[in-house]
Amino acid sequence: MARRRRGEVERGSCTALVTGAAKGIGRCYADRLASLGYDIVAVDVDAAVEQAAAEISRCYGVRCTSRICDMARLDAAEDLFAWTCGEGIAVDVLVNNAGIFSFLDVLSTPVERIRRIVLLHDMTTTTMCRLYGEEMARRGGGRILNMSSYSIWMPFPGLSLYSASKAYLKSFSVAFSKEVRERGVSVTAVCPAGIATDLYGLPPRWQKIGLRLGILSSADSCARRGLRAMWKGRRCVVPDWWFRLFIPICQCMPRPLLGWLRRYTMKFQK
């Protein structure tokens, strides 16, 4: 009898819900969970999630249900939870991956954009954890993975809104994991550094260069390491070990260097 991979289940016996699943890291999470036998609920604001769901079903032989939903709304988590309950879907693994990147001074950021980022990263994710976490605890167990960011150790000009919203997510996940562990629910915060996806607006050419230089990691590598940490029950993980070495440097960066970085990066703000 073949040995099962970590996290592998009998095909179709469990369900994973992934937000931001149309492409990038979210698509890689969905692919990897489907390969382990999980039925998938793929959620995204992009209608491309329907095609992604069809491809996942065809490739892995699991049921993949798509749901077009803007998670940056006040009632998004409640609406999605009510829909899954109405469909009779019991979520065993929840991956809160949907995110909005922002590299722009707060005073230059439209108020609506600020509202959407904080809603998506903090309010929606917290509510998702509350609703699905309670269901998991009632059934005796489950796993939650929340995507934070390496930028929480980089409170640089232009990243203030993004890094602060992700810092909340990491802090919440670690504390929440201690509350629900006795009820069989694990919570993991993943804090990746640069990933070669379209999130940052980098052209494909620069993404390839970043991958070759080791400055960027692939989306699949991030998903693989994030899931491995989740299966192990870790509360927080930085996927690539070498980036952990730079955390003290990021936190103690001299003011003159910060000033130079600000002047240099102002042209990239948008």
pLDDT confidence bin for 253, thresholds 50/70/90: low
Q: Which residue has the higher pLDDT, 142 or 252?
A: 142
Q: What share of the chain is helix, strand, coil (3-state, %, to 5)?
A: 55, 15, 35
- Look up residue 210 and give its two tokens: 């970043």
Q: Considering the chain, what is the average pLDDT of its residues?
A: 87
User: Rounded CA gap, 154 and 145, in Å?
Assistant: 22
pLDDT of 267 above 60: no
Query: Edge-to-edge, what's the strand order for the sheet holding 15-19?
Result: 64-68, 39-44, 15-19, 93-96, 142-147, 185-190, 236-237
Please state the φ and ψ torsions of residue 6, each to the nearest 5 degrees.
Answer: -60, 125
Give the pLDDT score at 4: 77
Give the pLDDT score at 2: 57
pLDDT of 164 above 70: yes
Give the pLDDT score at 260: 47
Lowest mean pLDDT across 65-74, 103-112, 213-222? 213-222
Give the pLDDT score at 249: 57
State whether residue 33 is helix, strand or coil.
helix
pLDDT in tens, 27-43: 999 999 999 999 999 99
User: Rounded CA gap, 109 and 100, in Å?
Assistant: 13
Number of other CB atoms surrounding residue 168 within 10 Å? 17
Angle between helices 125-139 and 160-180 (to 10 degrees): 20
Amino acid at position 212, single letter: R
Q: Contact, 43 vs 21, CB < 8 A?
A: yes
Instruction: Walk me through the domains of the chain, giving residue ranges and CATH numbers.
Output: 15-268 (3.40.50.720)
pLDDT confidence bin for 227, thresholds 50/70/90: very high
Give the pLDDT score at 192: 87
Amino acid at position 269, single letter: Q
- Of the candidates 156, 155, 240, 231, the one whose C-alpha atom is nearest the C-alpha of residue 191 is 240
Q: pTM score > 0.75 for this model?
A: yes
Q: Which residue has the higher pLDDT, 81 or 5?
A: 81
User: Rounded CA gap, 9 and 40, in Å?
Assistant: 13
Report, as an integer, the average pLDDT of 92-100. 96
pLDDT in tens, 188-212: 999 987 666 666 555 666 666 666 6
Distance of CA 260 to the CA centre of its chain: 31
Residue the block writes with tokens 């492409």: 23
Q: Which residues are catalytic?
A: 162
Helix (H) or strand (E) holding 41: strand 39-44
State whether residue 12 is helix, strand or coil.
coil
